[in-house]
């Protein structure tokens, strides 16, 4: 039985300082499933004291000790994959098979990748008479979102553990259960007291307290650009490191010599995956203007085969979006697209046919979208694709980069050489060519208002390390 009314602090489950809770709603039914405790600054203070004390010893552990710890976590995690998947499906609406395989699987994948990095990482290197030492930064505050809950938790917690840091995690209040299961896994694996702490709560209370806390050395935040700006402003007076993975409005450039059916079909399916609730979703499809009608017809066919329905139902492609607030925002933007003159190719406002309950969005495609339209500028974070036309390759690149965001980009062309040429011109932290998915050992993060810092693999580990130069260390 998952303990939702307590926090995990200093190796034990403890009551909130001031009891307060909020309901967790199933987005497929709109029914409250249970309550989860909400924390306060006082709970954060307790967790920070524990983490600061634990850092004194955990920061001195050997590589071998941390390798053994990650191996134990992996072994226990594997036994709880189905439980994690079910929690994610119930709380944020992902179809159950996808939640078990991709949502829970992403968390496991990041821990395993971090273990591989730790086994071979060089924490010290000579440089002339000096030695360069990379050592743990200290106490980390982690704030994670609801859309890929275990993915975001694991790609922060695993490298922080590998680095020798201690931490306080505030998961999303919309998806608390998978995080609580993760805390149980770490406890069973023998993570020392105070190294990992979890405090549930709201951003304006717990998130703000973490961002401002003088004894937290770094904040690792994943979420909206708006919230990321608030975190950075609150963190500034204590000059702590702030690493952020924020929003996106990622271009998917399909060039005139690409296999149109393959590229468009793959792009639409990718956009709709996870109900469009991925920060790196290819939400702006940029295609040759002369092929707009052909592209729209292909996209319409994919949208009409995409079934929005019960996450545990047979044949469901996508589930609901996470909550009423998201649903309302998406509906407003769909209506805005219609008002501003975009061509509605598939979907549209309202619930899918045959559905009368739940936060379901009709898989929606707009064509003939221009760069000044709201749906071309704002992150919708739902299963809504916009198709934009470019007269040539240069204009496609210009459109791709005409955004305040820079998290991801996608390019399909008739040859990988041409895809490489265009991919190099896209101002984004991650660019995928020819439909190839992300490489988990490669860095993940954004340019511009999509954030700073990098996660995953070696780059993710280095986010949690300070660099110290010791001159004279190798002097004769």
From 245, 379, 455, 463, active-site residue: 245
Please say if 279 is a catalytic residue.
yes
Q: How many Å apart are CA 464 and CA 476, to the nearest integer?
A: 32
Q: How many Å apart are CA 92 and CA 307, to the nearest integer?
A: 17
CB–CB of 40/18 below 8 Å?
yes
Please say if 245 is a catalytic residue.
yes
Nearest CA among 138, 435, 50, 438 for reference residue 269: 435
CB–CB of 153/110 below 8 Å?
no
21: number of CA atoms within 13 Å, CB side?
Answer: 17
DSSP string, 80-131: THHHHHHHHHHHH---HHHIIIIIHHHHHHHHHHHHHHHHH--SEEEETTEE
Nearest CA among 345, 425, 418, 444 for reference residue 385: 345
CA torsion through residues 62, 64, 70, 73, sign: negative
CB–CB of 55/166 below 8 Å?
yes
From 100, 155, 279, 379, active-site residue: 279
Instruction: Show Cβ contacts of residue 84 under 8 Å, excluding neighbours closer than 6 positions.
Output: 100, 103, 104, 107, 150, 178, 181, 182
Quote the Cα angle for 40-41-43, to 5°: 70
DSSP E strands in 182-277: the ranges are 196-198, 218-222, 241-245, 251-254
Instruction: Show Cβ contacts of residue 379 under 8 Å, excluding neighbours closer than 6 positions.
Output: 224, 247, 248, 249, 279, 283, 405
Instruction: Show Cβ contacts of residue 228 under 8 Å, excluding neighbours closer than 6 positions.
Output: 221, 244, 246, 451
Nearest CA among 150, 203, 210 for reference residue 179: 150
Q: How many Å apart are CA 430 and CA 204, to the nearest integer?
A: 30
Count of beta carbons in the 10 Å neighbourhood of residue 149 = 30
- List the catalytic residues: 245, 279
């Amino acid at each position: 039985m998952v303990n939702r009314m307590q926090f995990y602090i200093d190796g034990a489950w403890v009551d909130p300082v001031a009891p307060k809770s909020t309901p967790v709603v199933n987005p497929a039914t709109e029914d409250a499933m249970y309550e989860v405790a909400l924390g306060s600054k006082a709970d954060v203070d307790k967790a920070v004291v524990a983490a600061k004390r634990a850092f004194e010893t955990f920061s001195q552990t050997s590589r071998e000790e941390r390798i053994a710890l990650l191996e134990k976590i992996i072994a226990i995690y594997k036994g709880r994959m189905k439980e994690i998947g079910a929690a994610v499906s119930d709380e944020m609406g992902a179809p159950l098979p996808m939640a078990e395989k991709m949502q829970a699987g992403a968390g496991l994948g990041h821990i395993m990748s971090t273990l591989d990095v730790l086994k071979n990482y060089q924490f010290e290197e000579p440089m002339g008479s000096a030695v360069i030492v990379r050592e743990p930064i200290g106490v980390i505050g982690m704030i994670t979102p609801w859309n890929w809950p275990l993915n975001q938790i694991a790609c922060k917690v695993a490298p922080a553990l590998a680095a020798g840091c201690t931490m306080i995690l505030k998961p999303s209040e919309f998806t608390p259960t998978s995080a609580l299961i993760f805390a149980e896994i770490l406890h069973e694996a023998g993570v020392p007291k105070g190294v990992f702490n979890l405090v549930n709560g709201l951003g304006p209370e717990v998130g703000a307290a973490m961002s401002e806390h003088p004894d937290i050395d770094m904040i690792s935040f994943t979420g909206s650009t708006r919230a990321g700006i608030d975190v950075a402003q609150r963190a500034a007076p204590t000059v702590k490191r702030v690493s952020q993975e924020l929003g996106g409005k990622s271009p998917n450039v399909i060039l005139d010599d690409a296999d149109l059916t393959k590229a468009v079909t793959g792009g639409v399916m990718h956009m709709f995956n996870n109900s469009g609730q991925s920060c790196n979703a290819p939400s702006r499809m940029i295609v040759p203007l002369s092929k707009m009608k052909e592209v729209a017809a292909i996209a319409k066919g994919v949208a009409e085969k995409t079934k929005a329905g019960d996450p545990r139902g047979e044949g469901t492609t996508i589930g609901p979006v996470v909550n009423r607030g998201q649903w309302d925002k998406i509906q407003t933007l769909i209506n805005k697209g219609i008002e501003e003159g975009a061509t509605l190719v598939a979907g549209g406002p309202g619930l899918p046919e045959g559905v009368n309950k739940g936060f379901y969005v009709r898989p929606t495609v707009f064509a003939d979208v221009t760069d000044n339209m709201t749906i071309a500028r704002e992150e919708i974070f739902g299963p809504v694709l916009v198709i934009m036309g470019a007269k040539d390759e240069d204009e496609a690149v210009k459109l791709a980069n005409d955004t305040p965001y820079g998290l991801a980009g996608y390019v399909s062309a008739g040859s990988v050489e041409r895809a490489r040429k265009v991919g190099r011109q896209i101002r984004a932290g991650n660019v995928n060519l020819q439909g190839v998915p992300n490489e988990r050992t490669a860095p993940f993060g954004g340019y511009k208002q999509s954030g700073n810092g990098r996660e995953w693999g070696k780059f993710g580990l280095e986010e949690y390390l300070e660099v110290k130069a010791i001159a004279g260390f190798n002097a004769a």
